[in-house]
Amino acid sequence: MSFVFAGLFTPFHYQFFNNGIIVATIAGALCGLLGVFVVLRGMSYIGHGLSHAVFGGAAASAVMNINYFVGAGVWGVASGVIIGRIARRRLIGADAAIGVVTTASFALGLALLNRYGQAKKSIEAVLFGSVLGVKTIDIVAVSAVAILSVVIVVALYRAFLFATFDPEVAQVSGVRVAWIEALLMGLLSLTILVTMRVIGTLLISALLVIPASVARMLTNSFARMLWISPIIGAVSAFTGMYLSYFLDTSASATIILTGTLMFIVVYAVTGLRGRTRISGLHHI
């Protein structure tokens, strides 16, 4: 009995696992927090687009031997702000333009890694994330972005709420909507940047959407969504990461599947009420 019990703690004997689970849990909470805005604005394609754009930057910086956070960071934040601007103008074809540009960035990154990268393994790590490569710097980076995000969202809570619900009237009432949106896109890009090494390019957008959608089913209050969603994100990330050790599955895939399971359970439990609440969310 005590043998089995002790077995439950084995993963924590590995430093790489501890680092990985810390980064993943904070990343889950962070994605949960910013995901609220992504989901309520019907912009889930932005998480998808940004992560693909950042991938290009990550590959380019790897090939050119530039520090990941510097190279991919500049690239990611720049594409975030540009994507935000295109999306804001709500032009016909804006999604298509974003899709083309970010997919091109992704393809370029892939080609660069094929041509100049070391091994197939590193591509896989960027696409699907990896717990093995997680270093102390990743913990520091993800914590810093999480603290920054919480401080900004709390300090500018009203402006964020108003600009998300009704940008036009917010603008007229004196909220600097363009600035708020740029800030949000900047935070999203930073989030993707610091979580990508663990979660991977392909599954980050799911982590932005699932916790917030679950939170939306559970509450009708924006303020409550802002803490329920990070909790759900953190719990899925922690549980998923932990289970992946025993199931010998990809950490990010297990995290997303755990989140999906929570979605299904909440969907079933909240019934019609939950369904009507999320029915208005676009592009989930």
Partner 1 sequence: MIGEVLVECAHMSCAYNSTLAIKKIDFTIRKGDFVGIVGPSGSGKTTLLKAILGSIVPVEGHVTKKPHLRMGYVPQVETVDWNFPVTVLEVVAMTRSSTGRLPRVTKDERADALLVLERLGLGGLENRHIRELSGGQQQRVFVARALFHRPELLVLDEPTSGVDVRTRHEVLHLLADLHDEGVSIILSTHDLNGLAAHLPRLVCLNSEIIADGSPVEVLTPEVLEQTFGAPMEVLIHGGMPVVVDGVGADIAERMSRFG
* Binding interface with partner 1 (CB under 8 A): 40, 91-92, 154-155, 157-159, 161-162, 164-166, 168-175, 216, 219-223, 225, 277, 279-281
Least separation in angstroms between CB 169 and partner 1: 5
Q: Which residue's CB is nearer to partner 1, number 23 or number 40?
A: 40
For residues 22 and 199, the answer to whether their CB atoms sit within 8 Å is: no
**DSSP label at 118?**
S
Burial of 1 (0-12, 13-18, 19+ CB in 10 A): exposed
Nearer to partner 1, 164 or 191 (CB): 164
Rounded to the nearest 5 degrees, what angle is found at the Cα of 196, between the Cα atoms of 223 and 206? 50
Q: How far is the CB of 92 from partner 1 (least distance, A)?
A: 7
CA angle at residue 67 from 82 to 193, to 5 degrees?
45
Residue 149 or 189 having the CB closest to partner 1: 149
Q: Decide: 250 and 244 in contact? Cβ < 8 Å.
A: yes
Q: In angstroms, give the least distance from the CB of 60 to partner 1.
A: 35
Beta carbon nearer to partner 1, 16 or 88: 88
Instruction: Give 14 or 157: the residue with its C-beta nearer to partner 1.
Output: 157
Among candidate residues 189, 159, 146, the one with its CA nearest the CA of residue 51: 189
The token pair at 258 is: 């755990």
Cβ 128 to partner 1, closest distance in Å?
33
Is 65 exposed, middle or buried, given 0-12, 13-18 or 19+ CB atoms closer than 10 A? Answer: exposed
Q: Which of 74, 99, 73 is nearest to 86 (CA)?
A: 99
User: Between residues 121 and 275, which has the closer beta carbon with respect to partner 1?
Assistant: 275
Residue 178: how many CB atoms within 10 A of its CB? Answer: 14
**Radius of gyration for the chain, computed over Cα atoms and rounded to the nearest angstrom:** 19
State which residue, 159 or 190, has the beta carbon closest to partner 1: 159
Which amino acid does the sequence have at 221?
S
First to last CA, the chain: 44
